[in-house]
């Protein structure tokens, strides 16, 4: 009687162990099945600009006190953006409109409500975003963190 009981406990324990192992490995498979978010998806949200340079000169703190960008999720062929810039003299500027991302060339194009276009090269690494481009002959580099 004692032997039969011991064999039963061993078999039950072995089955429990195999079941738990199978369930754990399935959970890992589910995590691996999640697709990597696209750049368009990673870009969505608010970004606080930590560094704002024009032709290599840092203007944040000297001319610009704060700046934020917000990218909304794509709806159709593009998404909406807002870009707020606050200046040391107390004035501010808001640009808003549509944006398009070219993931292959790592470019983002902003088109404001007046139809003005600004194209930036971008580097996106998690919660860090760097935009660089030329506007009116001057080189802009913006370094931002997800807010």
Nearest C-alpha neighbor of 73 from the set 40, 36, 46, 112: 40
> How high is the pLDDT of residue 147?
86
Beta bridge pairs of residue 141: 53, 132
pTM: 0.75
Q: Give the residue, 13 or 118, on which the prediction is more confident.
A: 118
- Give every CB contact of residue 111 below 8 A, 6+ residues apart in sequence: 97, 98, 99, 100, 117, 118
* Residue 32 scores a pLDDT above 90: no
Domain boundaries, given as residue ranges, for the chain? 1-34, 39-146
* Residue 62 scores a pLDDT above 50: yes
Compute the average pLDDT of residues 3-13: 51
Mean of pLDDT over the chain: 86
> How high is the pLDDT of residue 5?
46
* Residue 60 scores a pLDDT above 80: yes
* Residue 34 scores a pLDDT above 90: no
pLDDT in tens, 65-115: 999 999 999 999 999 999 999 999 999 999 999 999 999 999 999 999 999
> How high is the pLDDT of residue 21?
55
Beta bridge pairs of residue 57: 54
pLDDT band at 36 (very low <50, low <70, confident <90, very high): confident
Nearest C-alpha neighbor of 20 from the set 32, 12, 8: 12
Q: Which CATH number fits domain 39-146: 2.40.128.20, 2.40.50.100, 3.30.390.30, 3.40.50.80?
A: 2.40.128.20
């Amino acid at each position: 009687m004692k032997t039969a009981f011991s064999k039963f406990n061993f078999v039950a324990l072995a089955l429990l162990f195999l079941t738990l192992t199978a369930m754990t490995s399935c959970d890992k498979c589910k995590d691996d099945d999640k697709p990597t978010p696209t750049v368009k998806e990673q870009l969505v949200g608010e970004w606080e600009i930590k560094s704002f340079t024009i032709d290599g000169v840092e203007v944040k703190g000297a001319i610009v006190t704060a700046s934020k960008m917000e990218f909304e999720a794509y709806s159709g062929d593009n998404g909406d953006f807002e870009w707020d810039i606050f200046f040391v003299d107390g004035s501010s500027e808001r640009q808003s409109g549509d944006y398009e991302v070219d993931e292959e060339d790592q470019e983002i194009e902003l088109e404001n409500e007046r139809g003005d276009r600004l194209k930036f090269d971008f580097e996106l690494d998690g919660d860090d975003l760097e935009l660089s481009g030329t506007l009116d002959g001057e080189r802009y580099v913006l370094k931002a963190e997800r807010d």
